[in-house]
Chains A and B, each alone.
Chain A
Amino acid sequence: MDTAFLPPELLRMLIAALFVVTVVFVNALFMVYAERKIAGHIQRRPGPYEVGWHGILQTLVDGIKLMTKELVIPRDANRMLFRVAPLLAFTPVVMPFLVLPFSENLTIIDMNIGLIFILAMASLNVMAILVAGWSSNNKYGLFGAMRSVAQNIAYEIPILLSLLSVVLITNSFSMRTIVEAQISGLWFCLLQPLAFIIYLIAALAETNRAPFDMPEAESELTAGFHTEYSGMGFGLFFLGEYTNMFIVSSVAVAVFLGGWSGLPLPMDAWTGAFWFLLKVYILMFIMIWVRWTYPRVRFDQLMNLSWKYLIPFALLNLIVTAVIVKL
């Protein structure tokens, strides 16, 4: 191939894009199956069992079903925005993959403000939910969207504050530097336990998962902001949700749980990626576990938790960290 037309760096980005799309789809396939199986076993039933061995092909078949379904647009909906919303929801969720440090040599771009990049992309997600809920012209959709925005604004603040206290220690927003600081020293979940707990709670809320799934509370809002969506429109929201879980857990692993560090294994270059993914999937298992264990909180409890407890404690933690770092 003519290298002048397609420089190696560009080729690398194309491969990276392909890699990201693959990870997104495989992760969603795996997680949906895992979620249904774990939920089943927690509720003393087998979960999906019919398609393939122990129902292992169930999600694949469900995915094909979703893709072949018609995308129905409600008559009174705002057509353009209704179609744009799923794309808007999916794009920012994929972007953070660019800066995630899978292992010491498996990072797409080592941006010096990687953490800010992830936070900026996370803030775009809310816009998509709002557009989806509003354009459906459905009261459940609108209520779901309004709850979602109130919740996301409230929980973005503790996330930012808890990550900032780590940034104060490492003096860098680069994901790689943060991980390397933990390899040479203590993991930040031991150094910053309060920030870690606050991040975990706020991350659960940020991904709109139970016990904080107010925006899509089935029993009150049918499906919240994506009530009117069918086929792949709904599919993209669904994919986005599971990818978001992956991103949130990856950030937790990279910032608090030592990233790719772990015991040495005979896997050469893949050791780092193995440990990273293992930690990510353990965290995601915990998120599923929490979802099927705790009931949904009330909306006022949700707001109180963030504004009256998480934010003051995160601020206090930040101030104490700043003082200690300065001394």
Chain B
Amino acid sequence: MSTYVFIAEALFFAFVILTFMGAILAVRARLLMHAVLGLAVCLLGVAGLYFYLGSIFLTMMQILIYVGAICILMVFGVMVGYTPQEIAESNFKGKNRFLAVAASFTGFFLLLIPLLRATFTPALEKTGDFSLPWLGETLLYRYCMAFELISVVLLAAIIGAIILATGGRES
């Protein structure tokens, strides 16, 4: 095994472990802040997996959008919302615990059904042009409708956020 293959394989497992550790931290953490940061670690691991698959563009977008923007907004929300002492008190106890376990198992089994019924065919090795210009062109020509609809959803979300924010200020 050449050094490159070894490094690539080692990185793959490192990213997988990073993703799982982040995910476990996000679920298990007692502090809300730790949970959000666990999510950030998990998303970084996913970015690493994109890197392993050879798509640097997706890696960068994952970091820029999910870690750099969304996680930061969540952390900001946590910081503004609670003091550290409040966050330390977990609500994962008593009746809540059973409800949480029941909800997550239901979700798990619901996801398991299509997963078991699906037949997986191994992906073909690079069946066409997947370069950045190709990606851009298909997004803006062939899938233009979907692209625009997503933008409308985001616009609606922004307008909603503004209405919520200004409503709170006046009252």
Q: Which residues of A contact B (CB under 8 A)?
A: 4-7, 10, 76, 78, 81, 111-113, 116-117, 119-121, 123-124, 126-127, 130-131, 133-134, 137, 142, 145-146, 149, 153
Residue B76 is within 8 A (CB to CB) of chain A in the complex: yes
Q: Determine if B60 and A120 form an interchain contact, defined as CB atoms under 8 angstroms apart.
A: yes
| B37 close to A (CB within 8 Å) | yes
B48 to chain A, nearest CB (A): 13
In the bound complex, residues from chain A placing their C-beta under 8 Å from that of B2 are: 4, 7
- State the CA gap A149–B68 with chains docked (Å): 11
**What residue in chain A is nearest B6 (Cβ atoms)?**
A5
| B residues in contact with A113, CB < 8 Å | 56-57, 60, 132
Closest to A3 in B: B3
Distance in angstroms between the alpha carbons of A76 and B67 in the assembled complex? 27
Docked CA distance A260–B7 (Å): 34
Question: Are the CB atoms of B69 and A123 closer together than 8 Å?
Answer: yes
Choice from A7, A121, A130 contacting B79 with Cβ under 8 Å: A130
B33 touches A146 (CB 8 A): no
Chain B window 1-41, contacts with chain A (Cβ cutoff 8 Å), 1 for yes, 0 for no: 01110010000000000000000000000010110010010
B68 touches A120 (CB 8 A): yes
Whether A130 pairs with B76 at a CB distance below 8 angstroms is yes
Q: Residues of B contacting A130 with CB < 8 Å?
A: 72, 75-76, 79
Q: Which residue of A lies closest to B34 (CB)?
A: A81
CB pair B60 A142 closer than 8 Å: no
Residues A111 and B3 in contact in the complex (CB < 8 Å), given A126-B72, A130-B72: no
Chain B, residue nearest A171 (CB): B133
Contacting residues, chain B, for A81 (C-beta < 8 A): 33-34, 37
Q: Are B76 and A131 in contact (CB under 8 A)?
A: no
List 8 tightest A-B contacts by C-beta distance, closest first.
A123-B68, A120-B64, A120-B63, A120-B60, A116-B60, A130-B75, A149-B76, A126-B72
CA distance A145 to B75 in the complex (A): 11
* B-side interface size class: 20 to 34
Q: Give B63's nearest chain A residue, CB to CB.
A: A120
CA distance A6 to B63 in the complex (A): 30
Given contacts A130-B72, A153-B69, 12 further A-B contacts (CB under 8 A): A5-B3, A6-B3, A7-B2, A116-B64, A120-B68, A121-B63, A123-B64, A130-B79, A142-B79, A145-B79, A149-B76, A153-B72
Tell me the minimal C-beta distance from B134 to chain A in angstroms: 14
Taking a contact as CB atoms closer than 8 A, the residue among B7, B61, B71, B79 that contacts A134 in the complex is B79
Q: Are A127 and B72 in contact (CB under 8 A)?
A: yes
Cβ contacts under 8 Å, B80 to chain A: 146
In the bound complex, how far is the Cα of B64 from the Cα of A212, in angstroms? 23
Question: Which chain B residue has the least Cβ–Cβ distance from A127?
Answer: B72
- Structural contact, B3 and A149, CB atoms closer than 8 A: no
16 examples of A-B residue contacts, CB within 8 angstroms: A4-B3, A5-B3, A10-B4, A78-B33, A81-B34, A112-B56, A113-B57, A120-B68, A123-B67, A123-B68, A127-B71, A130-B76, A131-B37, A134-B79, A146-B76, A146-B80
Find the B residue at minimum CB distance from A117. Answer: B60
Contact of A127 among B31, B57, B75 (CB under 8 A): B75
Shortest Cβ gap from A41 to chain B (Å): 38
B43 CB, nearest partner CB in chain A, Å: 11
B79 contacts across to A, CB distance below 8 A: 130, 133-134, 142, 145-146
A5 closest partner in B (C-beta): B3
Chain A residues with CB below 8 A from B33, complex form: 78, 81, 134
CB A114 to nearest CB in B, in angstroms, measures 10
Q: Which chain A positions have C-beta within 8 A of B40?
A: 127
Query: Contact flags (1/0) for B46-78 with A, using CB distance below 8 Å?
Result: 000000000011001101100111011001100
Residues from chain A with a CB closer than 8 A to the CB of B84 are 76, 78, 134, 137
Among B7, B37, B61, residue most surrounded by chain A Cβ atoms (within 10 Å): B37
In chain B, what residue has the closest Cβ to A80? Answer: B34
Closest Cβ of chain A to B47, distance in Å, is: 9
**What CA separation (Å) do A134 and B4 show in the bound complex?**
40
Residues of A within 8 A of B75 (CB): 127, 130-131, 134, 149
Is the CB–CB distance between A124 and B3 below 8 Å? no
**In the bound complex, CA of A126 to CA of B70 (Å):** 12
Task: Specify the chain B residue showing the minimal Cβ separation from A146.
Answer: B79
